[in-house]
Amino acid sequence: MGTHMTINKGFCFSSHYLLFILVALLMAVGCAQVPITERRGLQLIPESNITSMSLVEYDKILSKSRLSSDEKEVDTVQRVGNKIASAAEDFLRDAGMQEDIKSYQWEFNLIEDDKMVNAWCMPGGKVAVYTGILPYTKDEDGLATVMAHEVGHAIAKHGNERMSQGILAAMGGIVLSVALSNQSSGNRNLYMAAYGAGASLGILLPYSRLHESEADRIGLMVMARAGYDPRAAVPFWERMNNQGKSAQRPPEFLSTHPAPSSRIADIRKYMPDALRYYNPQ
């Protein structure tokens, strides 16, 4: 019995030590700087792979969607999008990341769906705006707020970072499962559930909120440099907040997005920096 326990403890120690070494190694080789905020983000997956996967998913979504036939609205989305993309590339050059620019194949589409209050930008620069969000954007400055925020996610490579964090969380779960192999099934399930909750509440959800806040900050700078008034971001997010009040929001620590009050406070904090870039065109 004593020998068995010694081996088991040694194995547990080795498993956790191995996980520590793997995490340290991955962090060392897989971190990259985010433009504008200069935060170091974990990026373990080759960007070419992320872009390829995104293009497949993008084509899939478009094949199942109806594109808007409103020429005026389509033209507005494409015009604003191109100006936002150009400003984003300027920031990448400023950050010494001009090599990244060739990874983006910008495309902007307006999808006809009045019930979908949403927009997104995939890694690689494929952007979709749904007609359901246009009543909340109201004008080109509001539309630029949304599109710059989504482009901010792309140039910060948040998609890669989220997938990389998922890989690390999965690795940790595998190591823990092996280390608990001699435990009863009840104890093993309890520990694994606690690990899953800890990874979600302690890492994945906070980073999701960080990504949203970071995209807000990047978006402000990008839209301002593109010639759109960043002050339009505050009333836009206030309108979005009012739109969502009918839904029951979870507490911020359980949410993938910052609380509306926190988001608007942060936007106001970064506004002076954004206004330095603002030059109406």
In terms of Cβ atoms closer than 10 Å to its own Cβ (0-12, 13-18, 19+), residue 181 is: exposed
List, as one string, the DSSP characters of 33-78: EPTTT--EEE--S-HHHHHHHHHHHHHHHHHTS-B---HHHHHHHH
Report the DSSP pairing between strands 40-42 and 107-111: unpaired
User: In a 3-state reduction of DSSP, which class is residue 231?
Assistant: helix
Question: Which residue is associated with the tokens 């800890």?
Answer: 198
150 is an active site residue: yes
Quote the tokens at residue 165.
């964090």
How far, in Å, CA of 190 to CA of 69, rounded?
Answer: 54
Name the helix (H) or strand (E) containing 169.
helix 158-179
Name every residue whose Cβ is closer than 8 Å to that of residue 8 and which is 6 or more positions away in sequence: 182
Burial track 5-36 (b if 16+ CB lie within 10 A, e otherwise): eeeeeeebeebeeebeeeeeebeeebebebbb
HEC string of 67-81 equals ECCCHHHHHHHHHHH
User: Which one from 89, 107, 140, 150 is the annotated catalytic residue?
Assistant: 150
> Amino acid identity, residue 78?
Q
How far, in Å, CA of 98 to CA of 102, rounded?
Answer: 8
Name every residue whose Cβ is closer than 8 Å to that of residue 123 and which is 6 or more positions away in sequence: 47, 50, 51, 54, 154, 157, 159, 160
For the annotated catalytic residues, the residue numbers are 150
